[in-house]
Structure 1
Amino acid sequence: MTTDPMNPAGRCPFHAASPDGASLTRQDKLAPQPGEPGPGQAVPNERGLYRVYDFQAARDILRSDAVRQAGFMAEAATRAPGLGRAPVLFAEGEAHHEMRRSTARYFTPTQVAHYEPMIAALADDLIGKLAQDGEANLDDLSLKLAVEVAAQVVGITDSAVPGLERRVMAFVEHGSDSEPGAPQPRGRGGKLGALWRQRQLLAFFLLDVKPSIAARRRERRDDLISHLLDRDYTDTEILTECLTYGTAGMVTTREFITVAAWHLLTQPELRADYVHGTEKERHAILHEILRLEPVVKVLYRRALEDIRTGDTFIPQGSVVALSVQETNTDPGTVGEDPAQLCPARPLPRGVQAPVLSFGDGSHRCPGAFLAIKESDLFLRRLLIWNDLRLISPPEVGFNETVKGYELRGLRVGLGGGPAHA
């Protein structure tokens, strides 16, 4: 185990008041059920899907060359008509590695520092509007921030009409609700659902992506769409990249900002340490919240060959569901009180603070640093106001497309001046 200078004794400085642990979004249906395998084991369910709850087995699988992506519309996206190249989030092998290397510059700390004034200005505008109105749903504010930041990075900045966030959420909130390998809906309901999603996709393309492509054909900018045009991507291929890069960043960052604010607003000592902490200390708090509240709670992979890791054996062709909620609270990895919030908890060498919340291996989330930086810039500006108050907690739902929680209706109020200016 390594020791962090912020927490030299390895003790948890904060514990949630809830006797059930620090997670506010726990979805019991994703936890091991009676009769299901425990840590270090994996057996198929009735459809042949293997669930893995052990950290080491999950990380080994994520890092293996013997698996490919199977979640977040991966298998449908790679079969979409008109695609000469698989989207980078779903590509495999050297094609994937080369694309990740060529786009890495958009997510480096240096580039994120370039985005910082833009993010700070957006945050100030949103908080100013909150102060003017007196009340707002924090999840609405976090959506506006997450969509605008992701749009700037990807290049979806020239929409024909307002409403980008509405179109993005319509597509994600009403996407597929089945696990990889599950039977697809048949009959009228299934056909109508598919037609509805195609209509949303067409609206996103015509109103948001196509005008942005046209603007960059006239003049390149420092964003992903310009980069893809330089590589001779077709409009269909650019649309798919915008869907995967853009919507993934928009949806997940929105939910994380909301859940982090919920934790900080309900734990005064944690909030005080966050507001007065250094950037390193604030990021440690956010990483620990993310460990307990992974936005994507399950990652899917399909085995290209037989896989054995520890006591886990998965045959070729099987789909594997890696439960991030469980791997992140594996006591063999994260230590004592694994379900409690402990910023800068000591972890084994090579295990990052959010554990598997950003994934691992070649498909680890490329925007991890940007997501934490963006969240921190907004949350510190918001929570520094002494009269910011929680009016009502959110309702906790589940997004079947992302396989993660949805928080709606976290109502906050703000008035007066900053407490710590």
Structure 2
Amino acid sequence: MSAENSAPGAGTGTAPLIPMHCLRHLEPGPPRLAALRTGTPVWLVSRHADVRQVLTDPRLGRAPLYAPDAPPVTSTPNILDDPNSMLNIDGTEHQRLRRTVQRAFTPRAIARWRPWVASVVESLIDELIDHGSPADVVASYTRPLPVAVISRLMGLDNLDSKKLAHWSDHALSATAYSAEAIATAMTEFAGFGAAVIAERRAHPGDDLVSSLLAAAAEDGSIAEGQLVTLVIGLVVAGHETTMTSLGNALVYLLDGDRASWQRLASDEASAAAATEQILRAVPLGDTDHIPGLLRRAVEDVEIGGVVIPAGSVVAADTGAANQDPSVFTGDLLTELFSPLAAPMLTFGAGPHHCLGAWLARMELELALHRLARRLPALHLTGSADRIDWRRGLLTRSPESLQVAW
């Protein structure tokens, strides 16, 4: 999923990026005023309790970011900026739309998929071993695993992975592509979503899209455009988070303490604990483009002792909150297999908490445990500062990652 060649400054002159687990975070403190890239003032919220309040307080919403009087928050709109999407609707309307899909993502529902996901993991490792050492673990493992899972879940057996990569990169572009290029890609992607919906209406099956359409028909008030946005949004979100997290996790694990890699191989419980800590401590993206999860106040609200005026834009920095020393006292190296001291905020909180959180957790647990068990000598072939990163997107992970065993 390359955006680098289209990104401003991409090429031989681009400065190398540090691994995501080495990023420096905003020092936790009271809300402070800064500015977005658009020049719009923004209140930065960084402490764990304050970030959680921002994400759960009904006085701070997503929909007000797209009200007629709202200031600009992004210079190049992407898939996250559709005012009619589930992400940008609040209250009862949001809950109604969310109910059409949330049953497929409960822990119990996800648990039924575990044996099949484990079989996909094992098949990909078989192919990796058959290819031989060295190999690119992104092309052979971290990318195809979540694509295979979301394709099966949504009944998209013939999904073109190259087109998906193209659409996903444009959907989550920050600076990688022009507004015109993004609009063109999103029009194509929406056409794909509409075609899937039409096909599934004609031939319903045992898949997420069919169940979504059945729930929407029963509800009777969900617009067709919302259904299309929901389908393509699930396709992107269903693989992007896991691909990004798994790639970044392997950078951390394969460039560090070999004892941690060996313990991952020991049992699934260790992998589950490590997954939680990695999701907490290794962010999906940096704050260069957007400094956190954005909300807008519909009335004056006090956060961490500071009164945020009505109409203000607020950025909840989940990365800083996940490192708040008043809550999380140990570093990732010492705490990798320890229970979390408090709920992490990687998947958000409140009404907009990520639907796919349990699916992502399961994929990461299985992917890390089975890979460590099958390839205990796996290691990076070069230093982490030579990694080719995906650039100009809201998420960041290795473009490729050469490994050997």
Say whether the fold is shared (TM-score over 0.5): yes
Aligned mates of 1:341, 1:224 — CA distance in 2:
40
Partner of 2:289: none
Please say if 1:204 is aligned against 2:193: no
Aligned mates of 2:85, 2:261 — CA distance in 1:
39
Q: 1:214 aligns with which of 174, 198, 201?
A: 198
Partner of 2:54: 61
Question: CA 1:307–1:371 in structure 2 vs 1: closer, same or farther (change >3 Å)?
Answer: same
Aligned mates of 2:273, 2:86 — CA distance in 1:
29
Partner of 1:153: 153
Aligned mates of 2:404, 2:80 — CA distance in 1:
43
If the length of structure 1 is used for normalisation, what is the TM-score? 0.76
Aligned mates of 2:50, 2:119 — CA distance in 1:
43
Partner of 1:193: 178
Aligned mates of 1:133, 1:346 — CA distance in 2:
37
> Comparing both structures, which one devotes a greater share of its residues to helix?
2
Aligned mates of 2:193, 2:80 — CA distance in 1:
22
Q: Residue 31 of structure 2 contacts residue 303 of structure 2 at CA under 8 Å; is this kept in 1?
A: no
Give the match's secondary structure for 1:147: helix
Partner of 1:280: 269
Q: Residue 50 of structure 1 contacts residue 320 of structure 1 at CA under 8 Å; is this kept in 2?
A: yes
Amino acid at match of 1:292: A
Aligned mates of 2:50, 2:22 — CA distance in 1:
22
Partner of 1:267: 257
Q: Residue 121 of structure 2 contacts residue 366 of structure 2 at CA under 8 Å; is this kept in 1?
A: yes
Task: List 4+ stretches of structure 1 deviating above 6 A.
Answer: none
Please say if 1:395 is aligned against 2:395: no
Partner of 2:245: 256
Deviations 1:165-200 (A, max 9, x none): 323333245x2449xxxxxxxxxxxxx922211221
If the length of structure 2 is used for normalisation, what is the TM-score? 0.78
Partner of 1:138: 137
Partner of 1:107: 105
Aligned mates of 1:357, 1:31 — CA distance in 2:
16
Select between 51-60 and 259-268 the one with higher mean Cα deviation.
259-268
Amino acid at match of 1:366: L
Q: Residue 157 of structure 1 contacts residue 212 of structure 1 at CA under 8 Å; is this kept in 2?
A: no
Q: Residue 378 of structure 2 contacts residue 404 of structure 2 at CA under 8 Å; is this kept in 1?
A: yes
Partner of 1:39: 29
Question: CA 1:224–1:124 in structure 2 vs 1: closer, same or farther (change >3 Å)?
Answer: same
Aligned mates of 1:89, 1:285 — CA distance in 2:
29
Deviations 1:215-258 (A, max 9, x none): 31122223332233221455532331123222123111101111
Q: CA deviation at 1:308?
A: 0.4
Aligned mates of 1:24, 1:341 — CA distance in 2:
18
Give the length in aligned residue pairs. 357
Q: CA deviation at 1:162?
A: 5.6
Amino acid at match of 2:378: L
Deviations 1:100-154 (A, max 9, x none): 3342221122221222233223222221221122133222221111122123334
Question: CA 1:167–1:284 in structure 2 vs 1: closer, same or farther (change >3 Å)?
Answer: same
Give the match's secondary structure for 2:293: strand
Q: CA deviation at 1:318?
A: 1.5
Q: CA deviation at 1:270?
A: 1.0
Unaligned 5+ residue runs, structure 2? 1-17, 66-72, 287-291
Aligned mates of 1:359, 1:112 — CA distance in 2:
19
Aligned mates of 1:166, 1:74 — CA distance in 2:
14
Q: Residue 61 of structure 2 contacts residue 296 of structure 2 at CA under 8 Å; is this kept in 1?
A: yes
Give the match's secondary structure for 2:234: helix
Q: CA deviation at 1:27?
A: 3.8
Amino acid at match of 2:381: I
Q: Residue 153 of structure 2 contacts residue 207 of structure 2 at CA under 8 Å; is this kept in 1?
A: yes
Unaligned 5+ residue runs, structure 1? 1-21, 33-37, 79-85, 179-191, 415-421
Q: Residue 193 of structure 2 contacts residue 229 of structure 2 at CA under 8 Å; is this kept in 1?
A: no
Amino acid at match of 1:202: T
Q: 2:82 aligns with which of 77, 91, 106?
A: 77
Question: CA 1:68–1:401 in structure 2 vs 1: closer, same or farther (change >3 Å)?
Answer: farther
Amino acid at match of 1:217: R
Question: CA 1:389–1:162 in structure 2 vs 1: closer, same or farther (change >3 Å)?
Answer: closer
Select between 317-326 and 120-129 the one with higher mean Cα deviation.
120-129
Question: CA 1:222–1:151 in structure 2 vs 1: closer, same or farther (change >3 Å)?
Answer: same
